[in-house]
Amino acid sequence: MSRAPSPLIDGTDLPDGPVCVGLSGGLDSTVLLHALSQSPGVRDRGLRALHVHHGLHEQADAWATHCEQVCRAWGVPFTLRRVAVARSGIGPEAAARSARRAAFAADLRPGESLALAHHRDDQAETVLMRALRGAGPDGLAAMAVSTPFAAGRLWRPLLDVPRTALLEHARSHGLTWIDDPSNEDTVLDRNFLRRQVMPLLRQRWPHADTALARVATLAADAVELLDDGDAQAHAQVATADPQCLSRTGLLTLPAARRARVLRRWVASLHLPPLPGNGVARIESDLLQAAPDAEACFDWHRSRVRVWSDLLHAGTIREALPVGWRVEWNGAAPLPLPGGGELALHVTRGEARFDAPVHVGTRRGGERIALAGRDHSHALKHVLQDLGIPPWERERLPLVSDAEGQVLAAGDIAYAAPFDAWLRERGGRLRWRPDEAPFDAD
């Protein structure tokens, strides 16, 4: 790793690959871009700036123009990305942050590091805010200097630098930056901490920022030790399906470890973090539920539910519409209502049925004649015997011939004649339910 000559990041290991600076145009990101632009090593490996245009303020266009002009003056390639901020009940700050991170993730190139200008004051505010929300060691660990992100890494080289040093750097180099008026709105939690709480703390404890940042470091050290045990416990209760955990296995773990495993599992599935009462609800409503119960816990379009000895977690998906039915010739993948698709693949001949088939929802009472059996079976019992959970059965498309005989239940069960037809062509059906991952913050 090489070193940058700027005093702000002197002694900080630089990434080996190219760097993309998330440039808002404010003081912090402007100073970061300026400091990195002064390093020949960084420029040689590739330095660029990315501005995300949220369109939430009347001056948003002017801010984008300012960022482009700054980059032109410093000879740094500039990229502008416009995003639509979805108001999904998570608050304006969180919604904007989610849209911004999604834009960063989509734009980041393989092996590139996304440099963000979070500094020590930001770290202190984050620790305090998370403590007020009742966070444990994982939350108090706050922001890390470097973590994997999208196709590359997320890098925060200024995390140990106080904001006063950034302001001094900007003034000594004659930099200009944008002051976002929304940063003065103390209705927003972080602004309230920044404008009212932190100044008061510093009056009594001048080193409050350093102390709170130290809390993050100590919490991160503790989390690193806990993670090893969490990984072992997770492996003990995991199943062949990463979306399922063994309830019996979970109940053998100490409650504190079980809570950490549940959060780790949810994070591994790229679902939104469990809310504050999430673990308690899973403990009371799901882990103790009867095997035939239909208990579940929902949050942010995600769901944990019980089935037999299993807990299953995933995105909430609607069942196929009642009575839905379409004709399909197999030549192109068939989009399914609510997302996902059904596709025909063959290795010999043309990917097309001899005659169009019908694809639709289950209506109840269907039967299927499986290969190697001398009589038909109730489809309901076949799916139960195959261990297909109820939430998959709700979205399972049925393929039938013109007479209404069931040829296939998704790609899970084939009727004998259809199975033979596929074998002759080296073919198979592929059913892909839609499971879009959550972009965690």
Q: pLDDT tens for residues 47-99? A: 999 999 987 778 889 999 999 999 999 999 999 999 887 765 566 667 788 88
25 annotated ligand binder: yes
The pLDDT value given to residue 437? 39
Residue 36 has pLDDT above 80, yes or no: yes
245 domain-assigned: yes
- Considering the domain architecture, whether residues 347 and 402 belong to the same structural domain is answered as yes
Q: What is the mean pLDDT of residues 290-297?
A: 85
- Considering the domain architecture, whether residues 415 and 392 belong to the same structural domain is answered as yes
- Considering the domain architecture, whether residues 302 and 329 belong to the same structural domain is answered as no
d(CA 311, CA 305): 6
Domain termination site, one of 315, 348, 377: 315
4 domain-assigned: no
165 domain-assigned: yes
Which CA distances in Å does 239 have to 83, 291, 303, 395?
38, 17, 18, 22
37 annotated ligand binder: no
413-414 and 357-360 strand pairing: unpaired
The pLDDT value given to residue 92? 65
The pLDDT value given to residue 345? 93
- Considering the domain architecture, whether residues 206 and 295 belong to the same structural domain is answered as no
Q: What is the CATH number of the domain that holds 89?
A: 3.40.50.620
327 burial type by CB count under 10 A (0-12 exposed, 13-18 middle, 19+ buried)? exposed
Residue 180 has pLDDT above 90, yes or no: no
242 domain-assigned: yes
- Considering the domain architecture, whether residues 182 and 51 belong to the same structural domain is answered as yes
The pLDDT value given to residue 340? 86
State whether the Cα torsion 21-22-24-26 is positive or negative.
negative
Residue 11 has pLDDT above 50, yes or no: no
440 domain-assigned: no
For residue 79, the enclosing domain spans: 19-213
Residue 5 has pLDDT above 60, yes or no: no
d(CA 307, CA 314): 13
Domain termination site, one of 293, 315, 337: 315
Residue 417 has pLDDT above 50, yes or no: yes
178 burial type by CB count under 10 A (0-12 exposed, 13-18 middle, 19+ buried)? middle
Q: What is the mean pLDDT of residues 109-123?
A: 96
- Considering the domain architecture, whether residues 255 and 403 belong to the same structural domain is answered as no
Domain termination site, one of 265, 292, 315: 315
Residue 181 has pLDDT above 80, yes or no: yes
Count Cα neighbours of 425 within 13 Å in the Cβ-side half-sphere.
17
d(CA 237, CA 228): 15
- Considering the domain architecture, whether residues 354 and 394 belong to the same structural domain is answered as yes
Residue 280 has pLDDT above 50, yes or no: yes
Cα R_g (the chain), whole angstroms: 27
- Considering the domain architecture, whether residues 301 and 346 belong to the same structural domain is answered as no
d(CA 104, CA 81): 9
pLDDT digits (tens, 9 = 90+) for 120-176: 999 999 999 999 988 889 889 999 999 999 999 999 999 999 999 999 999 999 999
pLDDT digits (tens, 9 = 90+) for 214-261: 999 999 999 999 999 999 999 999 999 899 999 999 999 999 999 999
How distant is the alpha carbon of residue 359 from its chain centre? Answer: 32
The pLDDT value given to residue 424? 92
Q: 163-172 and 27-37 helices cross at what angle (nearest 10)?
A: 60
- For the chain, what percent of residues have pLDDT higher than 90? 65
The pLDDT value given to residue 338? 80
Residue with the bigger pLDDT between 365 and 91: it is 365
Q: What are phi and psi of 131, to 5 degrees?
A: -65, -40
The pLDDT value given to residue 88? 59
230 domain-assigned: no
d(CA 22, CA 30): 9
- Considering the domain architecture, whether residues 283 and 329 belong to the same structural domain is answered as no
Average predicted confidence (pLDDT) for the chain? 89
- Considering the domain architecture, whether residues 33 and 117 belong to the same structural domain is answered as yes
CB-based contacts of 116, cutoff 8 Å, min separation 6: 22, 29, 32, 154, 155, 156
Going by C-alpha positions, the residue among 272, 270, 260 that lies closest to residue 234 is 260
Average the pLDDT over each of 134-148, 358-372, 423-437 and give the range with the smallest value. Answer: 423-437
Domain count, the chain: 3
Q: 60-74 and 27-37 helices cross at what angle (nearest 10)?
A: 20
Q: What are phi and psi of 69, to 5 degrees?
A: -65, -40
| Maximum Cα–Cα distance across the chain | 87
SS3 content of the chain, % helix, strand, coil (to 5): 40, 20, 40
CB-based contacts of 79, cutoff 8 Å, min separation 6: 20, 48, 49, 50, 51, 107
27 annotated ligand binder: yes
- Considering the domain architecture, whether residues 106 and 143 belong to the same structural domain is answered as yes
228 burial type by CB count under 10 A (0-12 exposed, 13-18 middle, 19+ buried)? exposed
Q: What is the mean pLDDT of residues 416-420?
A: 93
Q: What is the mean pLDDT of residues 336-356?
A: 90
3 domain-assigned: no
d(CA 342, CA 330): 9
Q: What is the mean pLDDT of residues 324-330?
A: 94
d(CA 306, CA 288): 10
- Considering the domain architecture, whether residues 23 and 109 belong to the same structural domain is answered as yes
Residue with the bigger pLDDT between 18 and 84: it is 18
In DSSP notation, 302-335 reads EEEEEETTEEEEEE--PPPPTT-EEEE-SSS-EE
The pLDDT value given to residue 97? 81
| Order of all β-strands in the sheet with 341-345 | 334-335, 341-345, 428-432
pLDDT digits (tens, 9 = 90+) for 370-399: 987 878 899 999 988 888 888 788 889 999
Q: What is the CATH number of the domain that holds 242?
A: 1.20.59.20
26 annotated ligand binder: yes
pLDDT digits (tens, 9 = 90+) for 348-361: 988 899 999 999 99
How distant is the alpha carbon of residue 51 from its chain centre? Answer: 21
348 domain-assigned: yes
CB-based contacts of 377, cutoff 8 Å, min separation 6: 367, 368, 369, 370
Residue 440 has pLDDT above 50, yes or no: no
